[in-house]
Every structure is written in C-alpha cells, then in structure tokens.
Chain A
C-alpha cells in the first residue's frame, strides 16, 4: 500500500519516533518530526503537512493544548490531526476529540488501520 503526502509525527519517545518514521516512510509517505507541542505548531505553520500524528503526553506543550491551538489558528486548522496515545479509555478518546483531533489511535499502534485512517483523512 503506497500513499503520497507529508506526515508530521509528534512524538517525544525517541525509539517510538524512529520506528514510526521508518514505517511511515516505507509506506510511501514523507515524514517530518517534532518532539513537543510547540515544535509541532511551528512545523505545521512552516511546512503545512498533509496530516499530523500527535502523541498526547509531551513536554513543554502537551498534545491536547497543541491540538486546540492548531484548530484555533486559521492558517493550520484545516490540517487533520490523529491523536496517538497509550491512554486507551473512552474518556481519553473523548478528551482528544474535544481538543480538536479528527481521529484517535491507541498504542500499540495497529499500523495498517492507522494507514487507512491517514488515507481517509488526507483524501477528505
């Protein structure tokens, strides 16, 4: 399955970040990375990625705050955000959607399922 587009991966854990970068690239996507919420907002503004995969527990600015701000900024509010987190409860899913995320995926990541979500959101 090959998908064209630029993904911004926001993840503070280096191991997980490296793994996801390799897998996304192998699936045919261009990948940018950020390791905290503030950096993610900066990159979204400057690089205008097609989609953002956002971890929630981040230093400096967490994923919820970053998502909220992204959706409040007209320059980047159109970019879809998928929350990516190890918090697996319904409450956490609701928090993410309330913060403005367009979709939600739990860790450990079901990678084929994540690719389907990415494609769907990039197309729309």
Chain B
C-alpha cells in the first residue's frame, strides 16, 4: 500500500474514533436527561402521593368528627363550612388527577384502580357534606373500608413509583458508566493508533531516507553498480528509490559509453603515435645511409691522395638504393591513403605468377640470409597464366615473404600454390613460416592499417604495420581474399586466393 493511502486510512480511522467519542457523549447526555426527567417525575409523584395521603387522612378525621357531632348534638353546617369542605375535597380530586398525569406507562393500571376507589370515597364524602343538614338523610361514615382501600391503593402506587424511580436511577448510573467506558476506550484507541502510526511513519521514512542517502553517497563516490534495495518498500519513497536506480542505470550506461569512446579515442591516438614513431624509424633507416654516405664521400673527397673511383661508384649506388627504399616506403604510405580514399585502380597485364614470386624472393634473399632462414618454393610450375595487376601481385608476395622473414629466425619459409577444383580459374597460394606466430587476439587486428599485431611488436621487429593492410586491400582489389592461420610459437600460414582474371571473376560474381 502506498504511503499516501496508509496515511489517509489511519487519519480516517482516528476521525471515526473521534466521531464515536463525540456521538457517545451526546447519546449519553440525552439518555441521562431522559432518565433524569423520568426520575424527577417519579419523585414528584411520590411526594404528591404522600401529600394526598395526608389530605385524605385529615379529611377522614374531619368527616368522622362531624359525623359524631351530628349524631350527638344535631349540629348544622353553615353554608361557608360546606363550601370549604367542597373545595378541599375538589382540591384532593385535582391532586389525584395531577398524580394521574405523572403516572403514565407502568403505573397506569395502579393509578386507574386508585382513581376508581378514590372517586367513590370522595363522592361519598361530598354526599355526606351535602346531606349533613338534612336529618332524614342517613349518614353512615363508620365504614372504614372505602378509605382503607384508597389508602392501600395509594400506597401500592407509591411503592410502584419508588421502585420505578430506583430503576431509573439505576439506568442513569449504567448509562454514565457505559459512556465513560466507551469514551475511555475510544480515547486510548486513538492514542494507541496515533502512536503506532507515528512510530511507523517515522521509522519508515527514516529507513527509506537512510537507504536513499547511502545510495546517493555510494553512487556519488563512483560506485555506479550500487543499487538501492527497495524490494520491501512499496511506498512513495520506494518509488523514489527505483527512480533513483533507473537514473543510476542510465548514468552508468552514459559513463560507460563515454569511457568506451574515450578508450577508443585513446587507442586510436596511441596507434597513431606508434605509427608516426614507426614511420619516423623506417624513414630514418634509409636516410641514415643516404646522409652518412654523402657526408663520408664529401669528407673523403677533401682528403689528399688518390680517389678510388670504384669505391666511390659503389657508395653512390648505395645512396641511390637507399633513396629507392625511401621512395618505396613513401609509396606504401601513399598507396594506403589511395586505397582508403577509394582511388586505387588495377592495371592488368598477362604474367606468369611463378616468375613474379621468384623475383620477389630474389629481392628478399639478403634478408633471408641475415635471419638464417631457408626458403622453399613448391609446385609453382603448373600454374596458369594470370591477367591481373602484376605490380600489386608482386607487392603482396614481397610483403608476405618479408613479414615471414621478419618474424622467423633460423627457420623455414615456404611458398606453395594449387588450383582450386571447386573454383576453376582460381589459385590458392600459401606463405608458411616457422616463426613466432600470433595469438587469436593478434590475428583479429593483423590486417588493420597502422596496427601491428601488438604495439610492442614494432619495437622488437620494426615495420610500420602497413604491409599486411596493403596485402589485404590489394588481394581484395584483385577480386580475391587473404586469411591467416597461426598460433603463438607455432608459425603462421597466410593463404591468398586469387582469380586468374579479376574482370571475369567480377563478371561471374
């Protein structure tokens, strides 16, 4: 349940308890008033009954005295006395009627009985007074029964009313006790609920905020994999935590992207620096010969004595060759630039591939000797003639052989060829060495321009990392492909597949 709903529910519960309290109070005071009123009625009825009892007693005494007087003295009532008696009997009747109004409900039956007998008694008394002066009228007032009956009924009504009054007093007590109890229960429930709600709210917000704070600190300190634990938190702060986690994901991804981009840029930059250092090295090697021989000849020309013309001629040849080497290197760089801008094209002529490979081997023989490598040429004689770019074909094999020699010492380098039965007019060449080989990671990058198998390779073996890039591009230009199989320490085999005629190969493709 969300925090907002929990809060709302708790507040509604407290309000309901409060309303119950107020309602109980009003009901209690209403019930109390009702009972109080009834109680008061009962009390006044009891008082009235006593009063009536007294009046009846007085009246009876008077009647008995008068009756005795009449018998003994033949006393006569004056008009005034008669009226007074009538009035007092009427007053008693009125009081009995008033008592009747107070005796509703449960005491009504008792009252009716009282009413009947008192009516008779009062009527008897009235007759007595009215007939008092008439001596023929027989007035027997000695029968006490009517009076006793009224008296008894009055007392029973009185008892009944007293009983009801005590009952009502009881009800009042009970009502007060009940409302008190309800009020106290509701009050303590409210306090209990409020306390629990307060404790829950404080501990929940405290816990969630602590988690949020910790997460913010951890992520702020660079721990981008940290996530705020909000599994058991379904409230708004839990939502905030998951929004925060989402933000951390996005932030982490963005930072990883930036890092990757920066790493790639750094790598490209490092590769460029290494490439420039290698180009510098490769340019300096022939330049060393050109400048060194020129300065030396200049110095020697200034010396006295004979000039050894043959020696000078040889030295000038060296200068020329070094210049050629320099030119080749610069051409390589330009070739690659041309390939990269898509401006390289093929100049196709008819040639025998074996002849070209032999030429390349001849050029490289001093280097082979230097590294004490043996070269084997296998099954090159049966190859068909090519109609392709002979210069590029030569450069592919010059580069492959020069590479094989560069990474092989006192080993064996072989060039073999075979026609492909499944692809007529295609020839597969293999240049195999027993050199240092490459790992899978190195193989992945080995045909990339400016990248040697690894950056330390150039330091140990020289080279610009252009050779294999040029080979791959030239092979593809001639309609073919190049691939390599190698393992560290187990030598390398470069396999070149070429169509004998790139144009017809393109046409078929």
B-binding residues in A (CB < 8 A): 12-13, 15-16, 19-20, 22-23, 26, 57, 59-60, 62, 86-89, 91-92, 95, 106-109, 111
| A63 to B352 Cα, complex, angstroms | 42
Q: Chain B residues near A23 (CB, 8 Å)?
A: 292, 295-296, 299
Q: A86 with B281: in contact, given A15-B322, A19-B296, A26-B299 (CB under 8 Å)?
A: yes
B289 within 8 Å of A by Cβ?
yes
Q: Is the CB–CB distance between B288 and A107 below 8 Å?
A: yes
Central interface residue in A60, A107, A109, by most chain B CB within 10 Å: A107
Q: Are A111 and B285 within 8 A (Cβ)?
A: no
Question: Chain A contacts of B284 at CB under 8 A?
Answer: 86, 88, 106-108
Of chain A, the residue at the smallest CB distance from B280 is A88
Of the candidates B285, B292, B300, the one whose C-beta lies within 8 Å of that of A20 is B292
What residues of chain B lie closer than 8 Å to A87, measured between beta carbons? 277, 280-281, 459
A10 to B472, CA, bound (A): 36
Q: How far is the CB of B374 from chain A (nearest CB, A)?
A: 15
B285 to chain A, nearest CB (A): 5
For window 404-460 of B, CB contacts with A under 8 Å fall at: 409, 459-460
Using A23-B299, A26-B300 as known contacts, say yes or no to A111 and B281 having CB atoms under 8 A apart: no
**Does B244 lie at the interface of the complex (its beta carbon under 8 Å from any beta carbon of A)?**
no
> Which DSSP category, helix, strand, loop or mixed, fits chain B's interface?
helix
- Between A and B, 21 residue pairs with Cβ closer than 8 Å are A12-B370, A15-B322, A16-B288, A16-B292, A19-B315, A20-B292, A23-B292, A23-B295, A26-B300, A26-B303, A57-B461, A87-B281, A88-B277, A88-B280, A95-B459, A107-B284, A108-B288, A108-B292, A109-B288, A109-B291, A111-B292
Cα–Cα, bound, A89→B370 (Å) = 27
Closest to A62 in B: B460
- What chain B residues lie within 8 Å of A16 (beta carbons)? 288-289, 292
A59 to B172, CA, bound (A): 121
Q: Across the interface, which residues of A come within 8 angstroms of B290, CB to CB?
A: 108
| Residues in B neighbouring A86, C-beta threshold 8 A | 280-282, 284-285, 288
Inside 8 A of B291's CB, which chain A residues have their CB?
Answer: 108-109
Interface residues of B in 269-307 (CB under 8 A from A): 277, 280-282, 284-285, 287-293, 295-296, 299-300, 303
Candidates B287, B299, B461; contact of A108 at CB < 8 Å: B287
B489 within 8 A of A: no
Enumerate chain B residues within 8 angstroms of A108, measured Cβ to Cβ. 284, 287-288, 290-292
Task: Decide if A19 touches B370 in the complex (CB within 8 Å).
Answer: no
For residue B107, CB closer than 8 A to chain A, the reply is no
Q: Which residues of A contact B461 (CB under 8 A)?
A: 57
Q: What is the interface residue range for chain B against chain A?
A: 20 to 34
Shortest CB–CB separation between residue B138 and chain A, in angstroms?
161
Residues of B within 8 A of A22 (CB): 296, 300
Q: From residue A21, how far is it (CB to closest CB) to chain B in Å?
A: 10
Partner of B295, one of A88, A91, A107, A111: A111
Name the residue of chain A whose CB is nearest to the CB of B276. A89
Give Cα A91 to B455, complex, Å.
13
Residues of chain B with a CB closer than 8 A to A26's CB:
296, 299-300, 303
| CB pair B280 A59 closer than 8 Å | no
B131 at the interface (CB under 8 A from A): no
Q: How far is the CA of A86 from the CA of B134 in the complex (A)?
A: 174
* Given A22-B300, A57-B460, 10 other A-B residues pairs in contact with their CB atoms under 8 A: A15-B289, A15-B318, A15-B322, A62-B460, A86-B280, A87-B280, A88-B280, A106-B284, A108-B292, A111-B292
Residues A88 and B281 in contact, CB atoms below 8 Å apart: yes
Q: Please indicate the chain A residues that have their CB under 8 angstroms from the CB of B490 in the complex.
A: none
Residue in B closest to A27 when the chains form the complex, CB atoms: B299
Inter-chain contact A19/B292, CB cutoff 8 Å: yes
Choose among B292, B322, B462 the residue that contacts A109 (Cβ–Cβ < 8 A): B292
A107: B residues at CB distance < 8 A: 284-285, 287-288
A residues in contact with B285, CB < 8 Å? 13, 86, 107
Is B167 an interface residue when CB atoms closer than 8 A count as contact?
no
Residues of A within 8 A of B299 (CB): 23, 26
What's the nearest-Cβ distance from chain A to residue B282, in Å? 8
Interface status of B119 (Cβ within 8 A of chain A): no
Q: Does B371 lie at the interface of the complex (its beta carbon under 8 Å from any beta carbon of A)?
A: yes
**Whose C-beta in chain A lies nearest to the C-beta of B409?**
A59
**A106 contacts across to B, CB distance below 8 A:** 284
Interface residues of B in 300-337 (CB under 8 A from A): 300, 303, 315, 318, 322
- The residue of chain B having its C-beta at the shortest distance from the C-beta of A91 within the complex is B277
Chain A residues, CB < 8 A from B459: 87, 92, 95
Cα A87 to Cα B277 with chains together (Å): 7
Q: Kindly list chain A residues whose C-beta atoms are within 8 Å of the C-beta of B288.
A: 16, 86, 107-109
Collect the chain A residues with CB atoms within 8 Å of residue B282's CB: 86
Report the minimum CB–CB distance from B218 to chain A (whole Å): 39
CB distance from A59 to the nearest CB of B (A): 6
